[in-house]
Homo-oligomer: A and B are copies of this chain.
Amino acid sequence: MAVTIYDVAREANVSMATVSRVVNGNQNVKPATRKKVLECIERLGYRPNAVARGLASKKTTTVGVIVPDISKSYYAELSRGIADVATMYEYNIILSNSDKRATREVELLEDHLGKQVDGLIFMSDSLSDEIRSEMATANVPIVLAGTLGADTDLPTVNIDHEEAAYEAVKKLIDNGHERIVHVSGPMSRDINRLCKKVGYERAVKEAGLPLFEEFFIETDNTYDDAYEKWSVIRELKEKPTAIFAGNDEIAVGVLNGIRDDGFSVPDDYEVICFQHTLLSRAVRPQLTAIIVPLYDLGAVSMRLLTKLMNGEEVDDVNVILPYHKEDRQSTK
C-alpha cells in the first residue's frame, strides 16, 4: 500500500493539514515543523497522489494535446515545443493521435475533458461542426496550434501561410518563370485550399500570368504519391518550368521524379517549398524553402494556453508568427 499524507502526519505527529501545507509550500508552518515533516516524507518515501490532489483542488496540472499524427515530423516538432513550455510551467501532457478523423477528434476531446485536463491544444486541418460545438461547451481553454480557426473565437497560433506561399511563388516569378506548377497536399485541408493555393493564385494573377487549371496537382501529402505525380507533370499540355510544393516531403518526391527522369534542378526546373523537416537540407540540391517555425508554433501555443489557464488577460488571441525564406540550390 502506498504511503499517504496520513502516514506522514502520524509519523511526524502533526495533522494532515500541516503536511499538506509543507508539501504545497504554504508559509504558515514553523521552520522546525517543516523540517520534521520533510524528514518524515523523505523517510517514508511519501509521494503525493496527484489524482487525489486533482479531485480536491480541481486542477490536474495536465493539458491535453490532440495531434493528427505524432509520427509526422511536422507534428513531432510542434509537440516538442509544446512539451518544453509545458515542462517549464510544470504541466504534464496527455498526447493523442486523431488521424484527422472528425469523429475521432470529437471522441478525443470528450475523453480529454473527462480526464479533467486544465487546458487543451488542438491541431488539425479544418474544424468540423461537431468539434466546434464540442469545443464551445468545454470549460477549459483550448488553443489551436498551426490550425486555422480565426473564424471561431478560439485562440490560434499560426504563420501566414497565404503570404508565405505568395512570397515563394513570387520568387519563382521574379526568376522569370511563367508556368509554375503547384503540387499541393489534399484540398480537403483548409490550409491547402484557403491559404497556400490562394497565395499561389494571387502571385500568379498579380504578375498577369495565366492560371492553368492543370497546373494544380493534388497529392495525398506523401513522398511516394508526389514521386508518382511527376509522371503527370511531365505530360502536361503547357510545359511548366518551376514547381511550388506544399511541403518538403512532396517537393523531394517531385525532385526525385525529375532527377530519376534525367532532368536537372534547378536548370530544367526550379523548386521551392515549405520546409517541415530535415529533408530540405539533406537532399541534393538542397531545397529553397519557406522555413516554418514549428517548434515555436508549439511553444507559443503552450505559453498562450498557460496564460489562458491562469485567467490572465491576453490582448490578441490570434497570434501570427514570422517565417522566413531560405534560398538554397533548388532555385537560382
Contact = CB atoms under 8 A, between A and B. Distances in A.
A111 B45 CA distance: 13
A120 to B, nearest CB: 13
A97 B84 contact: yes
A256 interface: yes
A295 B70 CA distance: 12
A222 to B, nearest CB: 9
Q: Interface residues of A toward B: which range?
A: 35 or more
Contacts of A113: 47
A96 interface: yes
Interface stretch (A72-80, A152-160, A189-197, A301-309): A72-80
A249 B223 contact: no
Contacts of A252: 282
Contact of A137 (B45, B253, B278, B279): B45
A218 interface: no
A281 B47 contact: no
Given A2-B139, A76-B70, A278-B279, A47 B110 contact: yes
Given A50-B115, A282-B283, A284-B284, A79 B73 contact: no
A277 B329 CA distance: 23
Contact of A279 (B54, B111, B282): B282
Interface stretch (A8-16, A28-36, A87-95, A179-187): A87-95
Nearest to A1: B139
A208 interface: no
Nearest to A137: B45
Contacts of A45: 137
Interface in A63-122: 69-73, 76-77, 79-80, 83-84, 87, 92-97, 110-116
7 contacts: A2-B139, A51-B54, A62-B94, A70-B83, A83-B97, A87-B96, A95-B95
